[in-house]
Amino acid sequence: MSTEDLPSIDYLQLLSFDKLVHALLFGLLALSLTVAFRRQKKSNTFRRKALSLAVLFSMIYGVVLEFLQYTLIEDRTGEAYDIIANLLGCALGIVFFRLIYGKELFRAS
């Protein structure tokens, strides 16, 4: 197979406005879940593992959402670049959590 027959990957698509919105929204989701898990009073597990659980839930949600769009929803399309943007947004949400709340709240208590 020649290299001309291989599919091309346009990494600049990750810099589009649509992907920026995906990253921003999933960053806010991960940030919000982390804060909510840390501040709730019913489950010590959720409070102690808030960071890990928020990232896990956010990432699973992002992948499942794109998969459902790809398979079930007629007018929508699921894209691999959207999944990448969602996952990067989740990671950025945790970075912002650390910047906003500092080291004390970032550590599990």
Within 10 A of 82 (CB to CB), how many other CB atoms are there?
24
30-58 pLDDT, tens digit each: 989 988 998 898 999 888 898 889 999 99
Residue listed under structure tokens 């459902």:
68
Instruction: Tell whether the model's pLDDT for residue 60 goes beyond 90.
Output: yes
Task: Provide the pLDDT for residue 57.
Answer: 94
Q: Which residue has the higher pLDDT, 17 or 57?
A: 57
CA-based torsion, 44, 108, 93, 57: positive or negative: negative
**Predicted model pTM:** 0.74
Query: With helix as H, strand as E and coil as C, how does the chain read?
Result: CCHHHCCCCCHHHHHCHHHHHHHHHHHHHHHHHHHHHHHCCCCHHHHHCHHHHHHHHHHHHHHHHHHHHHHCCCCCCCCHHHHHHHHHHHHHHHHHHHHHHHHHHHCCC
